[in-house]
Chains A and B, each alone.
Chain A
């Protein structure tokens, strides 16, 4: 199953990068969303997918799934949520000020005057 997951992760990263490189701000934000999903699934996969029981103590169960990656993912999820919320607002504020969502029109401060 890890093989399939590796491919799914690859697809997520690929789509994320593709979106991030596009001109439209909205698509860039969609890209960052996919990026974090890819990263989280990667942690999960790296922990191994073969366990049979969730890591919650229960009578007579010994084959728990590795709980550590799950804890890490949970932390990462919350953090990416915070970042996503921030980005959404940043995005629409930028759009409001610049009146465009075309990144090509937001040439940076590298003017060589």
Chain B
């Protein structure tokens, strides 16, 4: 079985969704989608056997072999773990959505099409070994996320959020593509595995750091790291199942996946370790700090997600240190990798359940505003329990999974102090401090989320709906997730063996041969270690802050609205519209003269510059033919006629003067032995003048329309520049005849081969008859144009956009 095809199963299934939605009216379309994702989940479970032993499996579907582009599904511990999360949580979310979205009121066909599209995209990202197709799926997640956030597209906030998320994530994706292409050039392959295998050959390449930064831009934008996180809170406009799925458990983890996947390549770089760890910690702190400020349940969760993603990111950064140290020191950084993956699993579970609860509260009370909520504990006991479990896990308290991974996290951060390279000895102390402060805020917002909603006084009058416990169906998924959160606490090492260790081996390839070599043993009790002390501190300070929250929460209002990253984004977007509009207005005047001035100035400037810089200007008097009296006389006449055209006061004078120029040109043709030209020019000039005269009574009088002196001076300068350029060009080109003309051939063959005597005419009808054929076509088309211009007059309206 080519399991690469399974990546496409959801999107192929999506093709049937609209059909099912239309025909099978009484069954919720979600059930079909549920079956797909559940089936995939079960299928992927089978791979655990393989990854347990560190084995991998690949499957290829070729796409553009000539450009070496293919879909290569590659399943190792890391991609399997993600695939399971995607399909497993996917199935639960779909189950939840079946009860959450009303099949009568909502356009379910669209919803599930997007969701299935997204599932394919995610599976593609985590399984792709080929960087180009990885990018393909990467953008597909951005697109499906765009469509899902904009699902209720008549709402302003939805559209705003959809665009924002797309702009930021697609930007990251494009930059990432740049990085991937650079990698492919340096490593001469598109395959990630092969890159990892010969990474040593291009470390230190000129492009190495640039590629690193570009790839990280992709990861950071997708995983909502500082300062790109701003799209995530606005993405909460999506229906809650979407938030639970995309914006907590899967899509945002794609960035983490990418960092994990590329760790073996980039870990050697100092920039990588500093950026990933530093930005991760900053994001952790930032997210947790601002989560407390929020009043919308989903917004709190969004910021908490940002913060948790930062936590995992920093762990991934720390894990790269393992490539720089050996022995006992290395063990602790290998530890970080374990912690990262472990927390990733925990987070997916508890955050998924929390989002679902937030959805339930919204569904049953009609609001997500935490200021209007309170005391729901007794009305919605099951929901409360789930929320409690999730929040406590998030706060890092026992007996929940989050506690374990939090401890591992603190251990890793403490270890960073002792890392000797890259200035860590000096600055490393910052890491545990920031980690600790952030954990305090994490504690605060976790409590804030669950207790402000469920404990305290009931505020019935402020609720739009009479609250009640929700249906069993909707509770099913969050309960399952909450149960897992508890279970993980008790069997962390089993989880570690089954999922985490194989993933760690995949991630830190080169450091291990077999998953069993990852010697991490998680235990709830690990002695009176510094970590535990820190945890106790967190609980103490966190509890204090939570209890006094109403006193200091106002402090957040000090931050002015215009001084934030969101404001920066808004400014950029406004700049993109009205700013560009103003800029464009500045030079797009709508006047053809302005445009011609730009063009002529550029043409004259660049040609003259090139002429002199390239040392191409030359006047070779030898090459010129001797002066000729008639020629000079004609030249004088011509120039006089030109001057008359310039200074003509009436249209008739101008037309006659123009004719004068034409006849002087004809004279030149006579002088320079071009009888055909002379004849033609003569007749054409006559016919042209006749045309002018025929059109005469349609023409306006010759007016200058008050051209100011400045205006005319400007025109004169441009005109003089162009004129001089032409003279210089003509002189230079004539003085540098490098190769004689081909025309001797015509003189030799005109009689013998073409049976003619007038060479010019024979060239026209024979040697270059093709020119003539199409030149008369031009004349014919001009005739058609004149005819239809005069005869067809559709409207005198200024604006007629409906195509007549």
Task: Report B-chain residues with C-beta under 8 Å of the C-beta of A84.
Answer: 688, 691
What DSSP secondary structure best describes chain B's contact surface? helix
Q: Judge whether B625 and A67 touch: CB under 8 Å.
A: no
Q: Judge whether A27 and B785 touch: CB under 8 Å.
A: no
Q: Judge whether B720 and A14 touch: CB under 8 Å.
A: yes
The one of B646, B681, B790 in contact with A15, judged by C-beta atoms closer than 8 angstroms, is: B646
Q: Name the residue of chain A whose CB is nearest to the CB of B737.
A: A48
Task: Report B-chain residues with C-beta under 8 Å of the C-beta of A38.
Answer: 726
State the Cβ distance, A51 to closest chain B Cβ, in Å. 6
Q: Judge whether B627 and A55 touch: CB under 8 Å.
A: no
Q: Judge whether B665 and A41 touch: CB under 8 Å.
A: yes
Q: State whether the Cβ of B495 lies closer than 8 Å to any Cβ in chain A.
A: no
Given contacts A11-B639, A107-B591, contact A70 B674 (CB under 8 A): yes
Q: Judge whether B674 and A65 touch: CB under 8 Å.
A: yes
Q: Judge whether A108 and B591 touch: CB under 8 Å.
A: yes
Q: Judge whether B688 and A3 touch: CB under 8 Å.
A: no
Given contacts A5-B730, A46-B730, A73-B677, contact A85 B786 (CB under 8 A): yes
Task: Report B-chain residues with C-beta under 8 Å of the C-beta of A111.
Answer: 590
Q: Judge whether A13 and B723 touch: CB under 8 Å.
A: yes
Q: Judge whether A40 and B665 touch: CB under 8 Å.
A: yes
Question: Roughly how many angstroms separate A21 CA and B783 CA in the complex, as a whole number?
Answer: 28
Instruction: Mark A75-112 against chain B: 1 for CB-CB distance below 8 A, else 0.
Output: 10111011111101111110111001111100111111
Q: Judge whether B680 and A74 touch: CB under 8 Å.
A: yes
Q: State whether the Cβ of B638 lies closer than 8 Å to any Cβ in chain A.
A: yes
Q: Judge whether A89 and B790 touch: CB under 8 Å.
A: yes
Task: Report B-chain residues with C-beta under 8 Å of the C-beta of A71.
Answer: 760, 763-764, 767-768, 771
Task: Report A-chain residues with C-beta under 8 Å of the C-beta of B680.
Answer: 74, 77-78
Q: Judge whether B698 and A95 touch: CB under 8 Å.
A: yes
State the Cβ distance, A60 to closest chain B Cβ, in Å. 14
Question: Roughly how many angstroms separate A21 CA and B591 CA in the complex, as a whole number?
Answer: 10
Q: Judge whether B651 and A56 touch: CB under 8 Å.
A: no
Q: State whether the Cβ of B160 lies closer than 8 Å to any Cβ in chain A.
A: no
Task: Report A-chain residues with C-beta under 8 Å of the C-beta of B600.
Answer: 17, 21
Q: State whether the Cβ of B23 lies closer than 8 Å to any Cβ in chain A.
A: no
Q: Judge whether B730 and A9 touch: CB under 8 Å.
A: yes
Q: State whether the Cβ of B733 lies closer than 8 Å to any Cβ in chain A.
A: yes
State the Cβ distance, A30 to closest chain B Cβ, in Å. 5
State the Cβ distance, A14 to closest chain B Cβ, in Å. 3
State the Cβ distance, B26 to closest chain A Cβ, in Å. 50
Q: Judge whether B661 and A34 touch: CB under 8 Å.
A: yes
Q: Judge whether A93 and B789 touch: CB under 8 Å.
A: yes
Q: Judge whether A15 and B786 touch: CB under 8 Å.
A: no
Q: State whether the Cβ of B718 lies closer than 8 Å to any Cβ in chain A.
A: yes
Q: Judge whether B786 and A89 touch: CB under 8 Å.
A: yes
Given contacts A88-B692, A109-B590, A110-B590, contact A33 B661 (CB under 8 A): yes
Given contacts A4-B635, A15-B719, A92-B695, contact A10 B724 (CB under 8 A): yes
Q: Judge whether A14 and B719 touch: CB under 8 Å.
A: yes
Q: Name the residue of chain B whose CB is nearest to the CB of A81.
A: B684
The one of B624, B661, B743 in contact with A67, judged by C-beta atoms closer than 8 angstroms, is: B743
Q: Which of B656-684 contact A (CB under 8 A)?
A: 658, 661-662, 665, 668-669, 672-677, 680-681, 684
Q: State whether the Cβ of B527 lies closer than 8 Å to any Cβ in chain A.
A: no
Q: State whether the Cβ of B626 lies closer than 8 Å to any Cβ in chain A.
A: yes
Q: Judge whether A110 and B588 touch: CB under 8 Å.
A: yes
State the Cβ distance, A63 to closest chain B Cβ, in Å. 10
Given contacts A56-B757, A78-B779, contact A49 B672 (CB under 8 A): yes
Q: Judge whether B624 and A88 touch: CB under 8 Å.
A: no
Task: Report A-chain residues with C-beta under 8 Å of the C-beta of B57.
Answer: none
Q: State whether the Cβ of B742 lies closer than 8 Å to any Cβ in chain A.
A: yes
Q: Judge whether A30 and B658 touch: CB under 8 Å.
A: yes
Task: Report B-chain residues with C-beta under 8 Å of the C-beta of A97.
Answer: 796
Q: Which of B618-634 contact A (CB under 8 A)?
A: 619, 621, 623-628, 631-632
The one of B631, B642, B684, B743 in contact with A4, judged by C-beta atoms closer than 8 angstroms, is: B631
Q: Judge whether A95 and B646 touch: CB under 8 Å.
A: no
Q: State whether the Cβ of B715 lies closer than 8 Å to any Cβ in chain A.
A: yes
State the Cβ distance, A44 to closest chain B Cβ, in Å. 6
Task: Report A-chain residues with C-beta under 8 Å of the C-beta of B575.
Answer: none
Among the stretches B219-227, B551-559, B561-569, B700-708, the one at the interface with A is B700-708
Q: Judge whether B590 and A107 touch: CB under 8 Å.
A: yes
Given contacts A56-B757, A86-B786, contact A102 B719 (CB under 8 A): no
Q: Judge whether B677 and A70 touch: CB under 8 Å.
A: yes
State the Cβ distance, A54 to closest chain B Cβ, in Å. 4
Q: Judge whether B758 and A112 touch: CB under 8 Å.
A: no
Q: Judge whether B727 and A9 touch: CB under 8 Å.
A: yes
Given contacts A57-B758, A74-B760, A88-B695, contact A46 B775 (CB under 8 A): no
Given contacts A21-B596, A57-B759, contact A68 B743 (CB under 8 A): yes
Q: Which of A15-42 contact B (CB under 8 A)?
A: 15-27, 30, 33-34, 37-38, 40-42
Q: Judge whether B782 and A53 touch: CB under 8 Å.
A: no
Q: State whether the Cβ of B699 lies closer than 8 Å to any Cβ in chain A.
A: yes
Q: State whether the Cβ of B592 lies closer than 8 Å to any Cβ in chain A.
A: yes
Task: Report B-chain residues with C-beta under 8 Å of the C-beta of A44.
Answer: 668-669, 672, 674, 677
State the Cβ distance, B676 to closest chain A Cβ, in Å. 6
Q: Judge whether A96 and B759 touch: CB under 8 Å.
A: no
Task: Report B-chain residues with C-beta under 8 Å of the C-beta of A54.
Answer: 673-675
Q: State whether the Cβ of B589 lies closer than 8 Å to any Cβ in chain A.
A: yes
Q: Judge whether B727 and A6 touch: CB under 8 Å.
A: yes
Task: Report A-chain residues with C-beta under 8 Å of the C-beta of B751.
Answer: 57
Given contacts A86-B786, A104-B705, contact A92 B698 (CB under 8 A): yes
State the Cβ distance, A72 to closest chain B Cβ, in Å. 8
Question: Roughly how many angstroms separate A27 CA and B590 CA in the complex, as a whole number?
Answer: 19
Q: Name the residue of chain A whose CB is nearest to the CB of B722.
A: A17
Q: Name the residue of chain B whose CB is nearest to the CB of A2.
A: B624
Question: Roughly how many angstroms separate A79 CA and B774 CA in the complex, as a whole number?
Answer: 10
State the Cβ distance, B228 to closest chain A Cβ, in Å. 31
Question: Roughly how many angstroms separate A101 CA and B500 CA in the complex, as a whole number?
Answer: 79
Question: Roughly how many angstroms separate A23 CA and B702 CA in the complex, as a whole number?
Answer: 11
Task: Report A-chain residues with C-beta under 8 Å of the C-beta of B722.
Answer: 13-14, 17
Question: Roughly how many angstroms separate A100 CA and B703 CA in the complex, as a whole number?
Answer: 10
Task: Report A-chain residues with C-beta under 8 Å of the C-beta of B760.
Answer: 55-56, 67, 70-71, 74
24 contacts between A and B (CB under 8 A): A9-B726, A10-B723, A11-B642, A17-B718, A21-B600, A22-B715, A26-B700, A33-B688, A34-B658, A41-B665, A41-B668, A70-B674, A73-B674, A75-B772, A81-B779, A82-B778, A85-B691, A86-B786, A86-B789, A89-B785, A92-B695, A93-B789, A102-B705, A112-B584
Which A residues form the contact surface with B (CB < 8 A)? 1-27, 30, 33-34, 37-38, 40-42, 44-57, 64-68, 70-71, 73-75, 77-79, 81-86, 88-93, 95-97, 100-104, 107-112
Given contacts A1-B626, A48-B734, A92-B699, 4 further A-B contacts (CB under 8 A): A7-B635, A26-B702, A77-B684, A82-B782
Which B residues form the contact surface with A (CB < 8 A)? 581, 584-585, 588-593, 596-597, 600, 619, 621, 623-628, 631-632, 635, 638-639, 642-643, 645-646, 651, 654, 658, 661-662, 665, 668-669, 672-677, 680-681, 684, 687-688, 691-692, 695, 698-700, 702-705, 707, 714-716, 718-720, 722-724, 726-727, 730-731, 733-734, 741-743, 746-747, 750-751, 757-760, 763-764, 767-768, 771-772, 775-776, 778-779, 781-783, 785-786, 789-790, 796
